[in-house]
Amino acid sequence: MLARIAHELYWLGRNLARAEFTARAVEAVFQAELQGAADALPGVSFGSGGLLAMLDSVTKHVPAGAETLGRLTADAELPGSMLASVERARAGARTVRDVISAEMWEAINTTTLTLRRDGAAGWGAHAQPYVISQYVKQRTALIWGVADRSMLRDEAKCFLDAGGLIEVADMVLRMLRIALPSDEVEQADGSALILLQAVGGFHAYLRAGTAPPNAHPVARFLLFERAYPDSVAACVDSLHEVFSTADAGPRNSKPVLRVSRLAADLDFQRRALPDGAELTGICTSTQHELARIDQDVSERYFAGAVPAGWG
Amino acid sequence: MPAGARDNAAVGSDAIALSTEIYRPPTPGFDELFEHDGSPRPAARALIDELRRLGPEGLLEAGRRRDAVFVQQGITFETSGEDGPSHERPFLLDLIPRVLSGDEWRAIKRGLAQRIRALNHFVDDVYHAREIVREGIVPWRLVAGCPHFARAVHGIRPPGGVYCHVAGCDLVRHSDGTWKVIEDNVRVPSGISYVLENRAAMARLVPELFASYRVRPVEHYPQLLLGALRSVAPSAESEATVVVWTPGPANSAYFEHAFLARQMGVELVEASDLVVRDDVLYMRTTRGLERVHAVYRRLDDDFVDPLEFRADSMLGVPGLVRAYRAGSVAIANALGTGVADDKAIYCFVPEMIRFYLGEEPILENVRTYLLSDPEVLEHVLARTHELVLKPTGESGGRGVTIGPHADERELTALARRVRSHPERWIAQDVVRLSTVPTVTGDGSLQPRHVDLRPFAVFGERIDIVPGGLTRVAPSEGSLIVNSSRGGAAKDTWVLENGEEADRAGVGGFPISDTLPPALPDLRYGRWSEQQQQQQQSTPSSH
C-alpha cells in the first residue's frame, strides 16, 4: 500500500488512542483534585500539573488547575486537548476515506462535529470535563469496535492497530513515569487508585486480585500483565503481531526485530524482578525503545521520513 | 480600622442579607449550614456563595442530569408503600452537601469506635461468660427474648474476637448541637455504596461546590473492608478467598452487594454457588470446588443455614454453621450479632461502655423507655402524644409512630397494641433532628430533617470512612428518613482541617502533583511536515 496511506492510518490510530487516554486521565485527575487526600499512606503523585506537562510541551506554561483540565477537553487551541486529537484523527481519516469503511469515517466525523459543537458551547462550563471525557471514551470505543468489525484484516488494519498500540503503550508509560518519580519509590507505595482510573485498568486490576492497589503492584500490573490488553507488555506483544503480518520481510525488518526484542525483555524483567524492585528505570528504557521503534517504523514503511524531536 | 477589614465586614453583612433571601433556617432547631440568625456557618460560607451563583435554575439542571446518570448507571432503590408493591426509582441524591468540620468529625469518630468496641464485647460476652448479665446490668430475659439471639452460635469465638466487622450507627444531632446515637446496626447495615456513588456523582454534577474545600475522600472503603475481611480469614496461604454473599437480585440492596463485590474485586455469590463439604465452605467454579475463607454475608442470620436457623430458608447453605463452628470460614458480620442492635438492648449501651471499657460514653443515647416495666408503661402511655414509639423487631422505619404527628385515633389504637405486647415496644423522646437546606421541586431551598449513618470497618483496628450517609426526610417537618420510605440522601463532607474553608489557605493541590522528569515531546505526525523535514535533512545539492 502507499506509504502515505500507511502513515495516515498509523497516525489515525495514534490520535484516537491519545484522545481516549487523555479523556481517562483528565476525568480521573479532575475528580481526585476535588477531594482531599486519603488517610492512608501518601499515594502516587498524579495531578493536573503533571498531566499537562505530559500531554503537551506547549501547555507546560499553562497554569495547572480545574480550568485547564476543562480546556484539555474541547479547546481546539491546545494541541494536547481531546478535541485537537480528534480533529487530527478526522483530518487523517479524510485522506484515507477510501481505505477505512464508511461506518468508521462516519463515527469519527460525528464524534468530531459533536465535540466541536459542545466545545463551542463552552469547555469552561463546570461539569464539562466529566461529560466530555465520558463522551470521548464511549466514542473511541465505538470507533475501534466499528473498525474491528468492518475492516478487512490487511495491511491497512495492521497500520491502524499499530498506531493505536504504540500510543497506548507510550501513554501508559508517560503516566507511570509521572506517578512514580525516580528516587522516591518507597515513598510512593500508597494508594494508586487514581493511577488505575487515569490509565483505565481499575476494574481489571481488582478482578486480577493479586495485591492491594498500591503503587508498586499497580505499576507492575500496568507494565507486565499480558492478560490486560492496555498493559505495556500486551501492547508490545500485539505490536509484534501486527508488524509481522504487515511486513513484507519480517525476518530482516528492523522494527519487527526491535519490537520482538522489547517483548522478550519485558517478559524477562517480569520474571526476574523481585516484588518491590525499582521500576522507573524500566519505564524510561522501554519508552526510549518505543521511540526508536517509532523511528524505525517511519524509516522502513513511510519512505524514510525522519520524525522530529528525536535527536 | 484598616481599609481591608472594613471591606471584609461589608462583604460579610452583604452575604447575610443574600443568604436569608435564599434560605430560612427553621426556628427552633439546629441547621447544619446556617446559624440561628440566618447567616451561614463559617464552614459553609463558601458553599453558600457557590449555591447562590448556581441559582435555582442551575440546581434544577444539575438535578436533571443526575437523574439521567443514575438511571443510566442503574443506581436505583426499591420503594415500598405501607404494604403496597415496590418499584425501582433513581436513588434520590440531594445536591446540597452536609458539611462537618474536621474537629467535629474527630469527636464523632472516637465516640463511634468506643461504642462499636463495647458492642463487640457485648456480643462476645452474651455467647460466652455472660458477665454483664451476672453483674445485673443487662437482664437475661431481654437478651434471650431478643429475636436475633442465636443459640446456635453459643461458644463460638471468631478469629480475632471480632464480631461486628461492619457497623453503621445512626446518629442524630439535637437542637442544642450535640450528637446522639439513635440506633445501632451491626447485622447488615446498608448504604455505603450510596456514600461512594453520591460522592462520585457530586464531583461530576456540581464540581464547583468543591471549589473552596478540601473534602476527605471516601472511595477507599472497599479496600478497607477487603483488608478487614482478609485479616480475619482463617487462611494459611498468603491470599484468602473472600466472597460477598447476596440473597439475590430481588433484594432491595442488590445494587450495593454487586457494587461492593466489584469494588473489592471478589465474587458475588448466591446460596446455590456455595457448598459445605467436611465442614469446609467451597464455591462451585468452572474448575471445580474452590475453598472460601471469608464470607461477607448480606442476609440475616435466620436465612444462612436451614439446618440451624429457619428450616424453610431457600437462601441458605446447609452446614455453614458447622463450618463456622469448626473455624474454617470467617463470616462477617458474625452470626448472632443481631442481639447487640436490638432496640431494647440499645438502652444498655452506655452501661456496656462503662462496664467493658471502663470509659465514659462519648456519644449519648436518646432517652429510651423499656415498656416491659409496668410502671414505665403507664408513664409512657400517658404521654404517647409527645414520644416516639418503635416496635423492637422491625427495621427500616416500619411501624414507628411519632406521637406529636399522630392523631387521637392512631394513638388510641397504638396504646391498645402496646398494651397487648409491651415487651415488643420501646418509647423514645422525640429528637428534633437537625436540618440541612435541600433543593425542592422548583429549585428553591427548604429545610429538611437529616440523620447520619457513618460506616465503620472492624478488622485489626476500627476504621471509619469520613462522613457517611446523610439521610434526608422526604417532606417538610417529617422525621422519618429511611430511603425505603421515600427519603433522600446527601453527600457528607468532612473537611480536612478546622472550621474554615481552607483550600486557599493551604495552597496547592490535595493530591501530590509532581512535574515529571524530562519526557519526550509528543508528536503529531503530519505527512507534509515529515516531507519537509526530510527535505531539510537532505543535504542541498549546491
Phi then psi for residue B276, to 5 deg, are -105, 125
Of B207, B511, B529, the CB nearest to A127: B207
**Which pLDDT score is estimated for B448?**
93
Partners of residue A47 in chain B, C-beta under 8 Å: 509, 511-514
**Which pLDDT score is estimated for A197?**
84
Residue type at B182?
Answer: I
Partners of residue B529 in chain A, C-beta under 8 Å: 308
pLDDT of residue A223 exceeding 80: yes
Mean pLDDT of B227-247: 88
Partners of residue A191 in chain B, C-beta under 8 Å: 220, 223
Q: A311 in contact with B at a CB cutoff of 8 Å?
A: no
pLDDT of residue A59 exceeding 60: no
Mean pLDDT of A19-47: 75
Closest CA to B236 of B328, B331, B135, B348: B328
**Which pLDDT score is estimated for B344?**
87
Of B204, B263, B534, the CB nearest to A206: B263
pLDDT of residue A230 exceeding 80: yes
Q: A212 in contact with B at a CB cutoff of 8 Å?
A: yes
**Can you tell me the distance from the alpha carbon of B22 to that of B19, in angstroms, rounded to the nearest whole number?**
5
Contact across the interface for B207 and A306, Cβ inside 8 Å: no
Of A32, A177, A205, the CB nearest to B511: A32
Partners of residue B512 in chain A, C-beta under 8 Å: 37, 42-43, 45, 47
**Which pLDDT score is estimated for B75?**
77
Of B62, B206, B533, the CB nearest to A306: B533
How many C-beta atoms lie closer than 10 Å to residue B87's C-beta? 11
**Which pLDDT score is estimated for B507?**
37
**Which pLDDT score is estimated for A17?**
96
Of B207, B463, B516, the CB nearest to A54: B516
Contact across the interface for A10 and B525, Cβ inside 8 Å: yes
pLDDT of residue B31 exceeding 90: yes
Q: What angle do CA B67, B72, B74 make, to 5 degrees?
A: 95
Closest CA to A55 of A30, A26, A27, A75: A26
A229, three cell numbers: 490488553
Contact across the interface for B513 and A47, Cβ inside 8 Å: yes
Partners of residue B105 in chain A, C-beta under 8 Å: none
pLDDT of residue B499 exceeding 60: no
Partners of residue A35 in chain B, C-beta under 8 Å: 199, 203, 210, 214-217, 510
Phi then psi for residue B487, to 5 deg, are -75, 155
Q: What is the ipTM of this complex?
A: 0.78
Q: Which of residues 58-87 of A touch B (CB under 8 A)?
A: 64, 66, 79-80
Mean pLDDT of B310-318: 86
Secondary structure E strands in B246-347 = 267-269, 274-277, 280-285, 288-291, 294-297, 330-332
Lowest mean pLDDT among A9-18, A301-310, B8-17, B510-519: B8-17
At residue B36 the predicted structure's pLDDT band, cuts being 50, 70 and 90, is confident
Q: A164 in contact with B at a CB cutoff of 8 Å?
A: no
Q: In whole angstroms, what separates CA B381 from the centre of its chain?
A: 33
pLDDT of residue B16 exceeding 50: no
pTM above 0.90, yes or no: no
**Which pLDDT score is estimated for A31?**
80
Contact across the interface for A306 and B530, Cβ inside 8 Å: yes
A103, three cell numbers: 461506518
Closest CA to B345 of B188, B123, B541, B497: B123
Q: A120 in contact with B at a CB cutoff of 8 Å?
A: no
**Which pLDDT score is estimated for B520?**
74
A27, three cell numbers: 476525568
Q: Which residue, among B221, B268, B511, B515, would best test binding to A if mutated, counting the most A CBs under 10 Å from its CB?
A: B511
Give the count of Cβ contacts less than 8 A between chain A and B: 173
| Nearest CA distance, B202 vs chain A (angstrom) | 10
pLDDT of residue B437 exceeding 90: yes
Render B60-128 in DSSP notation, one character per residue.
HHHHHHHHHHHHHHT-EEEE--SSS--EEEE--EEEEEEEE-HHHHHHHHHHHHHHHHHHHHHHHHHTT
When the pLDDT of each residue in chain B is averaged and rounded to a whole number, the result is 84
Q: Which residue, among A29, A34, A195, would best test binding to B if mutated, counting the most B CBs under 10 Å from its CB?
A: A34
pLDDT of residue B165 exceeding 90: yes
Could you report how far apart the first and last alpha carbons of chain A are, in Å?
29
Mean pLDDT of B86-90: 70
Residue with cell string 388510641:
B412
**Residues 6+ positions from B313 with CB-CB distance below 8 Å:** B302, B303, B304, B305, B306
Closest CA to A293 of A244, A239, A233: A239
**Residues 6+ positions from B416 with CB-CB distance below 8 Å:** none
A71-124 per-position pLDDT tens digit? 788 888 888 889 999 999 999 999 899 889 999 999 999 999 999 887 766 655
| H/E element, A219 | helix A215-224
DSSP H helices in B383-494: 408-420
Contact across the interface for B65 and A127, Cβ inside 8 Å: yes
**Which pLDDT score is estimated for A182?**
54
Mean pLDDT of A144-170: 94
Contact across the interface for B513 and A50, Cβ inside 8 Å: yes
Partners of residue A129 in chain B, C-beta under 8 Å: 207
**Which pLDDT score is estimated for B279?**
94
Of B206, B217, B537, the CB nearest to A306: B537
Share of chain A above pLDDT 90, in %: 45
Share of chain B above pLDDT 90, in %: 44
**Which pLDDT score is estimated for A61?**
54
Contact across the interface for A309 and B521, Cβ inside 8 Å: yes
Mean pLDDT of A202-208: 88
Contact across the interface for A80 and B522, Cβ inside 8 Å: yes
Contact across the interface for A53 and B515, Cβ inside 8 Å: yes
Q: A286 in contact with B at a CB cutoff of 8 Å?
A: no
Question: What chain A residue is nearest to B502 in terms of C-alpha separation?
Answer: A36
Q: Which residue, among A67, A90, A126, would best test binding to B if mutated, counting the most B CBs under 10 Å from its CB?
A: A126
Q: A308 in contact with B at a CB cutoff of 8 Å?
A: yes
Question: What chain B residue is nearest to A306 in terms of C-alpha separation?
Answer: B534
pLDDT of residue A304 exceeding 60: no
Give the strand order in the sheet containing B267-269. B267-269, B242-245, B294-297, B330-332
**Which pLDDT score is estimated for B423?**
83
**Which pLDDT score is estimated for B109?**
94
**Which pLDDT score is estimated for B529?**
63
Partners of residue B227 in chain A, C-beta under 8 Å: 212
Mean pLDDT of B199-215: 87
| H/E element, B279 | none
**Which pLDDT score is estimated for B532?**
60
**Which pLDDT score is estimated for B90?**
78
Mean pLDDT of B427-442: 90
**Can you tell me the distance from the alpha carbon of A117 to that of B68, in angstroms, rounded to the nearest whole number?**
21
